[in-house]
Amino acid sequence: MSDSSPAPSWEQITDSLHHCTRCSLYKNATQVVCGEGSHHSPVIFVGEQPGDQEDLAGRPFVGPAGKVFDEVMASIGWPREEIYLTNAVKHFKFYLQGQRRIHQTPAPEEVECCRIWLRHEWRLLKPRLTVALGATAVLALTGKKQTLGALRGRIHKLKETAPFVATYHPSYILRQPNEEGRQKAYQAMQQDLTMAREFLKAAS
């Protein structure tokens, strides 16, 4: 993630993102969804990509997955206003089923194309920790496809950026077929985020 050229400002990133045509996803999306939150946050949370509601609202994590995310954060007493929250891919990828727009996982090439924005966000924020929400965020961070089960529950060191914690994407909780599965995934996410917060407290 290192880069010797000067980092653009937050305003320049937002402006350039609104004109981004680096991959084809901009063509069908309503708008780009930039990261948001505290520019003084010691932590950057990285999701996958905007969903249907985020695409319409132009803000990250405002749909069903965002509600779960807010609930988990509230349950451990970590206000969303204290963090910076963004996505690995900034445009909504979907296919149409009748009138419904159905989420599609971004391809590795799309993640790679969008990585430049994440790199700018990192360089400006200089976070002490990154929290990857789900496998696409892990791919954006490490360049490797990895399963969450094997990664979560630990702090990982990266050569070029601050350490990261990987946890389930909130939509994974929503996709569980029963209440037991939901509880298990919810508690795992609570544990991972508590560990992330403790790490930041110890490092401050």
Binding site for ligand URA (CB under 6 A): 47-51, 54, 60-61, 63, 65-66, 87
Residue located via tokens 């529950």: 153
Residue 5 CB, shortest distance to ligand URA, in Å, is: 28
Smallest separation, CB 168 to ligand URA (Å)? 11
- Measured from the CB atom, the residue of 54 and 121 that comes closer to ligand URA is 54
Smallest distance from the beta carbon of 202 to ligand URA, in angstroms?
28
Least distance (Å) from ligand URA to the CB of residue 107? 15
Q: Which is nearer to ligand URA, 65 or 200 (CB)?
A: 65
Which residues on neighbouring strands pair with residue 87, listed in sequence order? Answer: 47
Closest-by-Cβ residue to ligand URA is 47
Q: Which two tokens stand for residue 77?
A: 């007493």
SS3 per residue for 89-137? CCCCCEEEECCEEEECCCCHHHHHHHHHHHHHHHHHHCCCEEEEECHHH
How far CA 173 is from CA of 39, 45, 79, 178, 203, in Å, comes to 28, 17, 20, 10, 30
To ligand URA, the closest distance from the beta carbon of 81 in angstroms equals 17
Two structure tokens written together for 74: 């509230």
When the beta carbons of 93 and 120 are compared against ligand URA, the nearer one is: 93
C-beta closer to ligand URA: residue 7 or 20? 20
CA distance linking residue 126 with residue 131, whole number of Å: 13
Q: Which is nearer to ligand URA, 107 or 203 (CB)?
A: 107
